[in-house]
Amino acid sequence: MVIRKARLQDASNVYELVNSLSKDGTLLRRAFAEVCENIRDFTIAETDDETFLGCGALHLYGPHLAEVRSIIVRPEFSREGAGSKLLESLMNEAEENGVHSICLFTRIPEFFTHHGFRIIEDRTALPDKIYKDCQSCPRLYQCDEVAMVRGQVPKVSILGSRIGADQLVKLPV
């Protein structure tokens, strides 16, 4: 198995895989243009003969926080370790960038708990994530994802001032 940074030529595979799980609500639907624009955030897993297995992305908010996004393995290749290897690669990438706090939102917290992530009960502790993504999410008031973090919850925010929890839109936990 090979884990490598995605190239623009991988955008079709990433787009198809991510959107294959948007119909049942597992992942949010992404436009092809959005995948292309953010392809440098992605890492992919493939077999030695270049069969696409899965992908994951690392979004850097700044030196204080990164987010693991869209980590997914094709169902026929699940349980072969690609998800764990992708996550490990993304965490290493965050470390290489000097970011020691990594967050994610998921419906499968058990997988991430095994990799050192812990549940955050108060999502407003991640204002950069909320400001950038949650406010415009179609599931804003029906979110069923679990917020998790590895490392310390950042005490700073760069996408606007760090505001109190009472000033943010309340998200269901």
Whether the CB-CB separation of 67 and 103 falls below 8 Å is answered with yes
| pTM higher than 0.85 | no
Supply the DSSP symbol for 155: S
pLDDT tens, residue by residue, 131-158: 566 655 656 566 667 888 998 877 666 6
Domain ranges (residues) in the chain: 2-167
pLDDT tens, residue by residue, 71-115: 999 988 888 899 999 999 999 999 999 999 999 988 888 999 999
Listed in order, strand segments (DSSP E) in 63-160 are 65-73, 102-106, 118-119, 146-150
pLDDT tens, residue by residue, 34-60: 999 999 999 999 999 999 999 999 999
Instruction: Please give the CATH superfamily to which domain 2-167 belongs.
Output: Gcn5-related N-acetyltransferase (GNAT) (3.40.630.30)
30: Cα within 13 Å, side-chain hemisphere: 24
| 3-class secondary structure, 57 | strand
| 3-class secondary structure, 121 | coil
Taking alpha carbons only, the member of 54, 45, 89 closest to residue 68 is 89
